[in-house]
Amino acid sequence: MNKLHEMTIHQARTLLEKKEISSEDLTRSVLAQIDRVNPGLNAYITVSGDDAMAQARQADQAISRGETAPLTGIPLAIKDLICTKGVRTTCGSKILENFIPPYDAAVIKKLRQAGAVVVGKLNMDEFAMGSSTEHSAFGPTRNPWDPTRIPGGSSGGSAVAVAADMCLGALGSDTGGSIRQPAAHCGVVGLKPTYGRVSRFGLVAFASSLDQIGPLAKNVTDCALLLNAVAGYDPADSTSVPRSVPDYAGFSSSDLKDLTIGIPREYQSTGGMDPDVSRAMTEAVRKIEDLGASVVSVSLPHTAYAVAAYYVIAPSEASSNLARYDGVKYGRRDTDAETLIDMYRQTRAKGFGPEVQRRIIIGTYALSAGYYDAYYGKASQVRTLITDDFRKAFERCDVIASPVTPTPAWKIGEMADDPLSMYLSDIFTLSANLAGVPGLSVPCGFSRDGLPIGLQLMGPHFAEDTLLKVAYNFEQATDFHTKKPNLKDIS
Ligand code: GLN
């Protein structure tokens, strides 16, 4: 039998229900694993050990009374931009270093209702801006497969905590790839739901027309169980959609004969694609074909404009959303300033890191009078074209398959002085956010250096169930998800 913290949610749930293990033992085992490997990986910003043990005891009591919910007693961890009542929520930023939310985000309420134990808060790029978790005010997170490499970002802490068994599952957020890309680099499953599927009430806003919360998990079944718990309408989020939630874990081993998988032509001609990623992709598509699906070539003609459109829209919305951090209502305030204007200036100059400042400057420029039409307005038109590309492609196929990233995880520091290269590495993930469609990353191979590679599956709005079905059957037919990073030398 696996060590307790190595279990999947699905395995642990079965044993908890049969009372063969207790949530206290499980949570203790997770906390011990955090003590062992977190110093070397830096996935957690805050560990709430005592609180987690108290929740675990309550879960055990509920189980002994026969009152179980879908995640009763399961230790989970949360990206540090989702508000947790009484537990500080930093957003990876100095400006929110001491911010303790007075309320739980909607997804946290839902996880608590489902019985989950919240173990702590996970590292991330400051305000979720980045693809490497190097832009955290709390230091970079390291990839457990090779600690000299980035884990991806911005939900790097979430992916690493799952990959290194420091929690059984996690929540992240995805504005342009921040769930799928770290999931791919760390060899776990990550899902960005359709825009509007999961409430963002209590999520610190980055780019409001793109942000979604979603799960990162050890396998597809766990990913579906987490989505079951957090999906659904919430009147407190005006963008959440009143639509019933199916049982996302209702898939079974079946052939994929009724499905057509589309391979976007434009994604194959992308420059800078690593040969190991191409090879893993080709093999993954062949495997899906073996499972019965038909494969067709589709076109997403405006793909080349996705990076440019996203990197105007996201910073513009960020510049507006981040205006609230002025030292008055939230978090850090500079106390040396002599005038009010100086206080605003110094608070923001000292509180925000360089990448966040860069985005605020770009976004403020793009939204300013005289430039709006040329930048935000134009980018929004391109966004409509990209959305239309997907609509047309989904007339010909049920699911689009592509790489998640053009290369495996790069070395920490490698792109530190080259923000543009880092932006370009988001080429395969940004479009799903611009179009609002769901996207999933499932492990599909390893590079020659032993680094995980992810397969991305994208579907029409609200087709999460189809993505999970394809991913589950792919997972059953492969063994990538059973491989674990070697953590022996990490401490
Ligand atoms: N890498 C992208 C960015 O830096 C996406 C981040 C995200 O999805 N939060 O904006």
Q: How far is the CA of 27 from the centre of ligand 1 (A)?
A: 31
In whole angstroms, how large is the CA radius of gyration of the chain?
A: 21
- Report the alpha-carbon distance of residue 356 to residue 127 in Å, rounded: 7
**What would the pLDDT profile of 116-137 be if each residue is shown by its tens digit?**
999 999 999 999 999 999 999 9
SS3 270: coil
Cα 414 from chain centre: 22
Q: How far is the CA of 464 from the centre of ligand 1 (A)?
A: 21
Both tokens assigned to 100: 């303790």
User: What residues contact residue 335 under an 8 Å CB cut-off, 6+ apart?
Assistant: none
Per-residue pLDDT for 268 more than 90? Answer: no
Give the DSSP H/E element, type plus range, for residue 379.
helix 378-393
**What would the pLDDT profile of 137-175 be if each residue is shown by its tens digit?**
999 999 999 999 999 999 999 999 999 999 999 999 999
Q: How far is the CA of 204 from the centre of ligand 1 (A)?
A: 14
Per-residue pLDDT for 491 more than 80? Answer: no
Is 126 near ligand 1, meaning CB less than 6 Å away?
no
The strand pair at 439-446 and 169-174 is best described as unpaired
* Predicted local distance difference test score (pLDDT) of residue 490: 86
Atom index in ligand 1 nearest the CA of residue 311 equals 10
User: Nearest Cα to 233, choosing from 107, 411, 383?
Assistant: 107
Position 453 confidence tier, pLDDT thresholds 50, 70, 90: very high
- Which residue owns the Cα nearest ligand 1 atom 4? 130
Is 291 near ligand 1, meaning CB less than 6 Å away?
no
DSSP string of 327-365, one letter each residue:
SSSSS---SS-SSHHHHHHHHHHHHS-HHHHHHHHHHHH
Atom index in ligand 1 nearest the CA of residue 129 equals 4
* Predicted local distance difference test score (pLDDT) of residue 359: 98
Q: How far is the CA of 289 from the centre of ligand 1 (A)?
A: 32
* Predicted local distance difference test score (pLDDT) of residue 478: 98
Is 177 near ligand 1, meaning CB less than 6 Å away?
yes
* Predicted local distance difference test score (pLDDT) of residue 31: 98
What domains, with CATH codes, occur in the chain? 4-256 (3.90.1300.10), 304-380 (no CATH)
Which residues are the active-site residues? 79, 154, 178
For the stretch 485-491, contacts whose Cβ atoms lie closer than 8 Å and that sit 24 or more positions apart, written own/partner, are 485/144, 485/145, 485/163, 485/164, 485/187, 487/36, 487/37, 487/144, 487/164, 490/37, 490/40, 490/41, 490/144, 490/147, 490/164, 491/36, 491/37, 491/39, 491/40
* Predicted local distance difference test score (pLDDT) of residue 110: 98
Stated pTM of the model = 0.98
Torsions phi, psi of 168, nearest 5?
-90, -25
Per-residue pLDDT for 271 more than 80? Answer: no
User: Nearest Cα to 28, choosing from 62, 1, 59?
Assistant: 59
Instruction: Tell me the average pLDDT across 213-226.
Output: 98
Is 130 near ligand 1, meaning CB less than 6 Å away?
yes
Is 160 near ligand 1, meaning CB less than 6 Å away?
no
- Which residue owns the Cα nearest ligand 1 atom 10? 129
Per-residue pLDDT for 9 more than 90? Answer: yes
Is 439 near ligand 1, meaning CB less than 6 Å away?
no
* Predicted local distance difference test score (pLDDT) of residue 85: 98
- Report the alpha-carbon distance of residue 487 to residue 491 in Å, rounded: 8
Torsions phi, psi of 488, nearest 5?
-55, -40
- Report the alpha-carbon distance of residue 71 to residue 273 in Å, rounded: 39
**What would the pLDDT profile of 226-259 be if each residue is shown by its tens digit?**
999 999 999 999 999 999 999 999 999 999 999 9
Is 175 near ligand 1, meaning CB less than 6 Å away?
yes
- Report the alpha-carbon distance of residue 5 to residue 12 in Å, rounded: 9
Atom index in ligand 1 nearest the CA of residue 177 equals 8
Q: How far is the CA of 128 from the centre of ligand 1 (A)?
A: 6
Both tokens assigned to 491: 């401490």
Per-residue pLDDT for 475 more than 80? Answer: yes
Instruction: Tell me the average pLDDT across 22-37.
Output: 98
Position 1 confidence tier, pLDDT thresholds 50, 70, 90: low
Beta-carbon neighbour count of residue 17 at 10 Å?
Answer: 14
